[in-house]
Chain A
Amino acid sequence: MSPRLYLLQRGTAMVMVPLVIIHLVVIVMAVQGGLTGGEILGRTRGNIAWAAFYSLFVFAAAIHAGIGMQTISREWFGLGNRSATIAGHLFILLLLSLGMRAVFGVYGI
C-alpha cells in the first residue's frame, strides 16, 4: 500500500465517523412517533442537502471498503498485486452503483 492509499483509507474513515453518527441520530429521532416509507420520501425527495450528505457517505464508504477489499484479496484470497487491485476497483464500482442508486431513489430522480 502506498502512503497515498493509506491516507485515502484513513481519511475516508474519518469522514465517515460524523456521517454515521448523524445518520443514526436522525433515524432514532425521526422514527419516534412511527414513520412510513411515504413520509421518509416526502422529506427526502427534492432535498439537495440530504442527497449531498448521502452521496458523500457513499463515496467515502466505497473508497474505504474498496481499499480494504484490495488488502483482503491479497492476504486472504491469495490474489496477486494486479488481480487484487482489479478486485478492489470492481468493489468500489459495485458499492458506488448500489449506493448512488439508493441516493437517486430517495432524492427522486
Chain B
Amino acid sequence: MSAAAEKTLQVEVWRGGTDGAYESFEVPAQENQTVLDVVTYIQRNLDAALAYRFACRVGVCGSCAMTVNGRPRWTCRTHVSRVAKNGELKLAPLQNLPLIRDLVTDMTPFFEKWQAARGRFVPGDGPKDRFAQVPPEEKQRADANAAIECINCGVCYSACDVVSWRDDYLGPAALNRAWAGYNDVRDGDRNGILKAVSSGAGCHTCHTHQSCAEHCPVSLNPTFSIAGLKRATLKASLKGELSE
C-alpha cells in the first residue's frame, strides 16, 4: 500500500437541521480528490442517509456549493489538498439560506430574488425580421459578457454580510444578473430592470466590500456590476425615469 493510500482525512460533516451537530467521519485520502469526492465517499460507504446536492461534477451546474472549512466553495472543483488543514475538513451547508437537512439548503429565496431583480429577458415588440446589431467590442456588450457566466451556485450570496444582516437584500448574484440584462440592448424593458433593483433593498444596499467577488468560483465581480447599477439608476432617477 502506498503512503498516500494509508492516510485518512478527518471530516466533520453537519448533520440534521439548524439544531443539528457535526458528525465525524474518516475518509481515505487520495492524491487527487475533490471535496465532493469526499462527500460522495461518505454517502456511498459510511452513511447512505447523508443529504447533499450535486449534478455535473465539472463546475457547470452550480449545485454543489457548501461551506468548506468556513468558506463557501464549489466542492466539485475544490481539491482537498488546497483546503484541508492537517488532513481535516469541516463541511457545512451554505450560509444565508434556509437549511433543509445536512448539506442541503433551500435555494428558493435565492431564485425568488433573482426574479425580483428582473433577472430574466423581456422581449421587445419590434418586428421579428429586424435584428439588433450588437458589435462585440461595444462597451455595453463587454459589460454584459463580463457578468453573464454566473452558474447560480449561491456562493456569493452565502459570503455576503449584508444578506446576513437583511433578509430582504437582493444580493450579489441577482444584481449581477440584472446588470447583465440591463446591458443587453435587445431587452424590451431595460428601465424595468432599473426600477426593480432600485426599490427596497436593492443595489444601493450593497456596501461594496467585495466579499462576493472574492469568493465567486468563476471569478465574476458582482461588486463591479452593482456599482454599474448604482450609476445607471442614479442617472435614470435624476432624469425622472424611475417614477411610476
A residues apposed to B, CB below 8 Å = 1-7, 74-76
Contacts and interface: CB of A to CB of B under 8 A. Distances in A.
12 contacts: A1-B204, A1-B205, A2-B204, A3-B204, A3-B230, A3-B234, A6-B204, A7-B237, A7-B238, A75-B165, A75-B166, A76-B165
A2 B244 CA distance: 14
Contacts of B233: 3
A75 B238 CA distance: 27
Contacts of B162: 75
Interface in B180-208: 198-199, 201, 204-205
Interface residues of B, number: 15
A23 B146 CA distance: 44
B234 A74 contact: no
A102 B234 CA distance: 35
B242 interface: yes
B205 to A, nearest CB: 6
A91 to B, nearest CB: 19
B237 A4 contact: yes
A109 B233 CA distance: 44
A2 B166 contact: no
B198 A7 contact: no
Given A1-B205, A3-B242, 15 more contacts: A1-B201, A2-B198, A2-B237, A3-B198, A3-B233, A3-B237, A4-B237, A5-B204, A6-B204, A6-B230, A7-B234, A7-B237, A7-B238, A75-B165, A76-B165
A31 B126 CA distance: 70
Nearest to B168: A81
Nearest to A74: B166
A4 B198 CA distance: 10
Contacts of B237: 2-4, 7
A75 B201 CA distance: 11
Contacts of B234: 3, 6-7
Interface in B66-99: none
B196 to A, nearest CB: 13
A4 B240 CA distance: 11
What are the 8 A-B residue pairs with the smallest beta carbon separation, nearest first?
A3-B237, A75-B165, A1-B204, A6-B204, A3-B233, A3-B234, A3-B198, A1-B205
A10 to B, nearest CB: 9
A59 B73 CA distance: 46
A11 to B, nearest CB: 11
Nearest to B236: A3
Nearest to A7: B234
